Amino acid sequence: MEKQSAKGWLYLLPAILFLGVFMVYPLIDVFIYSFEEGYNSASQTYYGVGLYNYSYVLRDPYFLQALKNTFILVIVTVPLSTGFALLISVALSSIRPLRNLYQTIYFLPYVTNTLAVGLVFMILFKKTPYSDGLANLVISWFGGEAIDFIDGPYWAKMFVLCLYTIWVVMPFKILILTSALASVDETYYNAARVDGTSKWRTFIRITLPMISPTVFYLIITGFIGAFKAYSDAVALFGTDLNAAGMNTIVGYVYDMLYGNSGGYPSYASAAAIILFTVVLTITCVNLLVSKKHVHYS
Amino acid sequence: MNVLIYTLLTLWALMVLFPFYWMVLTSVKSYSAYNSEYIPQMFTLSPTLENYLEAFTVVPLARYFVNTLIFTVATTAIMMAVTVLAAYAFARLNFRGKNAAFVVFLSLMMIPSELVVITNYVTITNLDLRNTFLGLILPSVTSVFYIYLLKENFEQVPDDLYYAAKVDGTSDLKYLFKVMIPICKPTIVTIAILKVIECWNSYVWPRLVTDDENYFLVSNGIQAIRESGFGRENIPAMMAAVVSISVPLIVLFLIFRQKIMAGVARGGTKG
């Protein structure tokens, strides 16, 4: 047993080393940073312990802007993308010909570089002196006024960010929902057909309850993912998100750490911990709500 | 009813494909043609490859590619070695404290990378590893989830095989390489592909630890191109760069379509 024990730990050693240095230690350290006041990264000194970093972050207008942006993004994209993915998946499950082709196409955004495709969205929506861009061309067909979606009004920028986020997260949701729909037992549908139940009623009474754990899983992961949004915004509006007024909470953390406004790991740590308190709270609320409404077989 | 369903599905397919079409289209328009279009044209009659030439000569796109390749291969290889050994220990070996260790590993799965990136940034800076491949690779290696996934798969290999091998005097390491890995190859390949996709698209960590463009990966490269590259206004050349960095993953996806989709359905997260 002693020899076996040593061998087991030996096999685990590389994993433990990596996880210890780059995960466990940083996790403890981030809490320490967040309470050290006046930390100086050059001399690695600080002059006090307390909650100042938190109160600084919570009063920083850039953080409040980032908080607002992130909340809007979450509230708009999570329900829309989940609902729309459900619609597409149900439609996809009801056909046979071309199904594989559609599935392959729908998955493409998952394997593309977020930064790269974001640039395409940027040029589609950007208004330059040379051209109003394609999005504005479509708007003009319907008699609308040209808007700069990239450097223009806040709502327009938010619209593009939400649209791009939905475009990026749809593949995952469609994939998970179609496999959940495929695993619903056929006998339920056959029974419903014998009883002459309408399609809509079958969907509400059978399909939806059967896949509700999956839908719920997607809502939770969707919330967590949207709260951590960052690179989509960088792709559309560039790295100086504070200037564009389009920063997200994660973006605020990184900006505090690095770049022109960087060098403040204490503020970054406090902001990161605030973010995860929010995410944890919302996940717990979701779990409580789901106990009432989700059908676990 | 069917008409309605197909219309919906086709509309979304067009929404997905259109950005891809637009990037390819723009990348083959000449600079002067693109800038003289006040109303964007949906197709071009005189496609040109000059933008691709420019993308690979004016900015060091080839270097970004090589960097990304080195980063992706090294990170995936080290991660696979670490993951296979740990998964084998949890699935096959008996040792004191195994269950406790496994619980600790599982709980680490819930730790978001945004929380640990701050200290990792400080660690790598203090170790003087900024703008090195080591600094890029080391913190990107850990993936608790894949250890869990592979452990589950390893456990499905019948115990009898192990005892038979033990009777024959086969060592644990040999058993791992000769029996476990070949049997579980599909899962191992899936994990490797998912990690490759993740590495190819990683942006945040490389951005934090590199500011020397000799160490930029494609994501950072494309961002640098966007902000200063071709004098900002050369959109066709920018799109040629975008197409170039998107193609490798799309080809990988088309080859391993089934594996990737099954793998993501089992354990991918994004969105």
From first CA to last CA, the distance across chain B in angstroms is 31
CB pair distance less than 8 Å for B108 and A94: no
| Least Cα separation, residue A24 to chain B (angstroms) | 8
Domain contains B83:
yes
Question: Which residue among B38, B94, B114 sits closest to A131, beta carbon to beta carbon?
Answer: B38
Instruction: Enumerate residues 218 to 277 of chain A having a beta carbon within 8 A of any beta carbon in chain B.
Output: 221-222, 224-225, 228, 230-231, 234-235, 238-239, 250, 253-254, 257-258, 265, 268-269, 272-273, 275-276
Query: Are the C-beta atoms of B213 and B221 separated by less than 8 Å?
Result: yes
pLDDT per residue over B200-227, tens digit each?
Answer: 999 999 999 998 889 999 998 888 888 8
Q: Quick one: average pLDDT of B101-117? A: 88
> Which residues from chain B sit within 8 angstroms of residue A235, using beta carbons?
223
Q: Quick one: average pLDDT of B16-23? A: 95
CB pair distance less than 8 Å for A111 and B252: yes
Domain contains B244:
no
Domain contains B127:
yes
**pLDDT value of position A74:** 96
Dihedrals φ, ψ of A129, to 5°? -60, -25
pLDDT per residue over A131-179, tens digit each?
Answer: 888 888 888 889 888 888 988 899 999 999 999 999 999 999 999 999 9
A43 vs B: CB within 8 A: no
**pLDDT value of position B231:** 57
Confidence tier at B111 by pLDDT (50, 70, 90): confident
CB pair distance less than 8 Å for B250 and A111: yes
**pLDDT value of position B268:** 57
Number of domains, chain B: 1
Q: Quick one: average pLDDT of B102-126? A: 89
For chain A, give the mean pLDDT.
89
Q: Considering only residues A173 and A4, tell me which one the structure prediction assigns the higher pLDDT.
A: A173
| Least Cα separation, residue A187 to chain B (angstroms) | 23
**pLDDT value of position A291:** 79
Over pLDDT 70: what percentage of chain B? 97
Report the 10 Å Cβ neighbour count for A30. Answer: 24
Q: Quick one: average pLDDT of A16-32? A: 93
Q: Quick one: average pLDDT of A215-238? A: 91
Q: Quick one: average pLDDT of B145-171? A: 90
CB pair distance less than 8 Å for B38 and A130: yes
Domain contains B261:
yes
Domain contains B201:
yes
Q: Quick one: average pLDDT of A66-70? A: 96
CB pair distance less than 8 Å for A175 and B17: no
pLDDT per residue over A87-143, tens digit each?
Answer: 999 999 988 889 999 999 999 999 999 999 999 999 999 888 778 888 888 888 898
DSSP chain A: -HHHHHHHHHHHHHHHHHHIIIIIHHHHHHHHHHHEET-BTTTTB--EESSHHHHHHHH-HHHHHHHHHHHHHHHHHHHHHHHHHHHHHHHHHT--TTHHHHHHHHHGGGGS-HHHHHHHHHHHH---SS---HHHHHHHHTTPPP--TTTS-HHHHHHHHHHHHHHHHHHHHHHHHHHHHHTS-HHHHHHHHHTT--HHHHIIIIIHHHHHHHHHHHHHHHHHHHHT--HHHHHHH-S-HHHHT---HHHHHHHHHSSTT---HHHHHHHHHHHHHHHHHHHHHHHHHHHHH----
CB pair distance less than 8 Å for A120 and B270: no
Alpha-carbon span B127 to B129, nearest angstrom: 5
pLDDT for B140 beyond 50: yes
Q: Is the ipTM, as predicted for this complex, more than 0.85?
A: yes
Report the 10 Å Cβ neighbour count for B38. Answer: 10
- Show me where the domains of chain A are located: 73-242+278-293
pLDDT for A184 beyond 50: yes
| CATH class of the domain defined by A73-242+278-293 | mainly alpha
* DSSP secondary structure letter of residue B158: -
**Range of B204's domain?**
22-28+48-235+257-267
pLDDT for A297 beyond 60: no
pLDDT per residue over A239-254, tens digit each?
Answer: 889 889 999 999 999 9
Nearest CA in chain A to B146: A15
Confidence tier at B271 by pLDDT (50, 70, 90): very low
Domain contains B39:
no
Return the closest-CA partner of residue B25 out of B13, B10, B39, B40. B40
What CATH number does residue B179 fall under?
Answer: 1.10.3720.10
**pLDDT value of position B244:** 93
Q: Considering only residues A1 and B84, tell me which one the structure prediction assigns the higher pLDDT.
A: B84
pLDDT for B270 beyond 60: no
Domain contains B240:
no
For chain B, give the mean pLDDT.
89
Instruction: Enumerate residues 73 to 112 of chain A having a beta carbon within 8 A of any beta carbon in chain B.
Output: 81, 87-88, 91-92, 94-95, 98, 102-112
Domain contains B252:
no
